Amino acid sequence: MDEIPGAGPSQASSGQHSAADRDWWRGAAIYEIYPRSFADANGDGTGDLAGVRARLPYLRDLGIDAMWFTPWYQSPMADGGYDVADYRAIDPLFGDLAEAEALISDALGYGIRTIIDVVPNHVSDQHVWFQQAIAAGPGSPERERFWFREGRGPNGEEPPNGWTSEFGGRAWSRLTAPDGTPEQWYLHLFAAGQPDLNWGHPDVRREHEDVLRFWFDRGVAGIRIDSAALLAKDPALPDLPIQPLPGEHPYVDRDDLQEIYRSWRRIAEEYDGDRALIGEIWLPNPDRFVRYLRSDVLHAAFNFDFLTAPWDAEVLRTSIDTTLMMHGRVGAPATWVLSNHDITRPVTRYGRADTGFAFDRKRYGTPSDRVLGERRARAAAMLAMALPGAYYLFQGEELGLDEVEVPRERIQDPMHFRSGGVDPGRDGCRVPLPWDGEKPPYGFSSGDVDTWLPQPDDWASMTAEAQSADPGSMLSLYRMALMVRRTHPDLGDGSMKWIPSAPGVLAFQRGDSFINITNLDTDPCELPSHERIWLTSAPLEGGRLPANATAWLRPSA
Ligand code: NOJ
């Protein structure tokens, strides 16, 4: 049994559970807040920062170390705030800068750090730079901060190249001059309201470095970097090669990015050495992925390989092994994620025939076995929390919320519209949280309002209040598991070793006193020799661990 090299100092030596620890991000439990849908204090049907402030005791009781906010800045909300109009202002829907500062400081009082989202690949089409670029016209310096080009074809009616948007459709839109004549095209890898920035332009670099300082000065502990592998472009904007070599794709994972993030790292290091940069990096090649995690680049990145893996012991084992080996090489901690604001909710996903996740496989009406899905989601959460590294959870995951099929006429997600209505989009995991009561808005809003996305009528038993009273609920499981994770000296950052188990079973040990065993088989399995059971995701059956369940044990001495 080889010890799988940890990704750095063990928890015991780093003391990671102390609030003052510089390396907190290596083993933290980090809770993602989608502010529109967390809690609405002003009663307008949309969540806000005052709502989060009022619920900080809930987050403390849940046992998290930090919260990550998806963008809270001023935005026309063409993509749920990922279209930023002004980085130094909070969107009025959510509050104002003073409210954000108060939130950051109140949260610290509860031992909770704040991570914010920065979206460097693009801005909103309402951002002052883009407005200036439109007004200044073709050939102007203002346009050089973006990717404006003439169209192809005799009248420029064809886009400059054949790139497609990550949301579907073409990645270019054409402007129309005030007199109605068609004008230049601009690049947007996402929605038309999200023009891509030109990272070859010095203003773009300077501005983002300033934005980092602006928020670090206000006490934020970390930055989640949106679409972190897409910023740098080949300025020739060539059509996509059939099979680009690593680093040679015209806009994915280009080598220039390393130096951009090195400069961000230097800024982060100016602040007490405890600020973290966490990349949203979707790359299938693990060698390329971990280049971003070298000690002078980013601190951590989301582990999408694990997140998208199906409920299959061998696939998960391989994902865990590859993750730990690759992160170990660069000394970075792994991250374990089961859901976020872009991904189908775990209880729904794990109850389907296809338990993996891929954006292009999302369809309406995919059947899901709720009971099975919930069992697996409970087991998966404990598995993920037991692995070495940091654990990220998305609001509502701890309540076991399902993916909601939002009625088409209420959908807001541009992914749905740009797919021609084929893809249900991502709103199904963004529905406002149910806090208490019997019917919508379930305590989400202070008033009796229609929430920005409708909540289902059958969520009365899913509210935080109802689940708090039930020791068998998903919320109770998360509270207990996070408490064990927080207090057990062998959990969080560190190393693990596999222990022998039947096929279909994942069993590993952390330190001397902790075993995780997860049964992905169809039959119950024997537990390894143990002297104590810390927690199980489902009741044992005759002393054996049933299918689709996890147990945490103290091994026999
Ligand atoms: C990734 C974010 O998670 C997603 O929600 C957003 O739509 C895109 N980046 C574009 O910013």
Q: What is the 3-state secondary structure (H, E, C) of 75-143?
A: CCCCCCCCCCCEEEEECCCCCCHHHHHHHHHHHHHCCCEEEEEECCCECCCCCHHHHHHHHHCCCCHHH
Confirm or reject: Cβ of 427 under 6 Å from ligand 1.
no
pLDDT, position 2: 53
- Collapsing DSSP states into helix, strand and coil, what is residue 482? helix
Q: What share of the chain has pLDDT > 70, as a percent?
A: 96
> What's the average model confidence in pLDDT over 291-301?
98
Q: Give the pLDDT band of residue 557 (cuts 50, 70, 90).
A: confident
Q: Give the pLDDT band of residue 59 (cuts 50, 70, 90).
A: very high
**Over 80: is that where the pLDDT of 3 sits?**
no
CA of 82 from ligand 1 middle (Å) equals 6
Atom 11 of ligand 1, nearest CA residue: 82
How many whole angstroms separate alpha carbon 194 and alpha carbon 192? 5
How many whole angstroms separate alpha carbon 217 and alpha carbon 221? 10
Q: What are the helix (H) ranges across 180-309?
A: 202-217, 256-269, 286-291, 304-308
- CATH 3.90.400.10 at 128-187, yes or no: yes
pLDDT, position 389: 98
Among 119, 188, 339, 418, the mutation site with the greatest number of ligand 1 atoms within 8 A of its Cβ is 119
How many whole angstroms separate alpha carbon 422 and alpha carbon 425? 9
Sort strands 66-69 and 29-33 into parallel, antiparallel or unpaired: parallel
Cα end-to-end distance, the chain, whole Å: 17
Confirm or reject: Cβ of 227 under 6 Å from ligand 1.
yes
CA of 406 from ligand 1 middle (Å) equals 19
How many whole angstroms separate alpha carbon 318 and alpha carbon 499? 15
Q: Which of 393, 381, 347, 395 is nearest to 484 (CA)?
A: 381
Confirm or reject: Cβ of 82 under 6 Å from ligand 1.
yes
Structure tokens at 467: 């689940």
- Whole-structure pTM value: 0.96
How many whole angstroms separate alpha carbon 32 and alpha carbon 69? 6
Tell the residue number behind the tokens 């959990």, with chain if given. 491
pLDDT, position 21: 85
CA of 71 from ligand 1 middle (Å) equals 10
Query: Which string of b and e fits 152-165 if b means at least 16 CB within 10 Å?
Result: eeeebeebbbebeb
Residues 493, 293, 303: CA angle, nearest 5 degrees:
65
- Residues 83 and 123 sit within 8 Å (Cβ to Cβ): yes
Atom of ligand 1 nearest to the CA of 414: 7
Atom of ligand 1 nearest to the CA of 79: 7
Confirm or reject: Cβ of 226 under 6 Å from ligand 1.
yes
- Residues 515 and 555 sit within 8 Å (Cβ to Cβ): yes
> What's the average model confidence in pLDDT over 341-353?
98
Q: What share of the chain has pLDDT > 90, as a percent?
A: 95
Mean pLDDT in the chain?
A: 95
Atom 2 of ligand 1, nearest CA residue: 226
Q: What is the DSSP-derived secondary structure letter of residue 166?
A: T
**Over 50: is that where the pLDDT of 492 sits?**
yes
CA of 360 from ligand 1 middle (Å) equals 15
Q: Give the pLDDT band of residue 6 (cuts 50, 70, 90).
A: very low
Q: Give the pLDDT band of residue 447 (cuts 50, 70, 90).
A: confident
pLDDT, position 500: 96
Confirm or reject: Cβ of 83 under 6 Å from ligand 1.
no
Among 32, 84, 226, the mutation site with the greatest number of ligand 1 atoms within 8 A of its Cβ is 226
Q: Please report, for the chain, the start and end positions of each structural domain, with discontinuous segments joined by +.
A: 128-187
Quick one: CA dihedral 149, 152, 157, 163, positive or negative?
Answer: negative
Q: What are the helix (H) ranges across 355-427?
A: 370-386, 414-418
Structure tokens at 65: 């170390």
pLDDT, position 209: 98
Q: What is the DSSP-derived secondary structure letter of residue 547?
A: T
Quick one: CA dihedral 149, 155, 159, 162, positive or negative?
Answer: negative
Q: What are the helix (H) ranges across 218-363?
A: 256-269, 286-291, 304-308, 313-330, 346-349
Active site amino acids: 226, 270
**Over 60: is that where the pLDDT of 7 sits?**
no
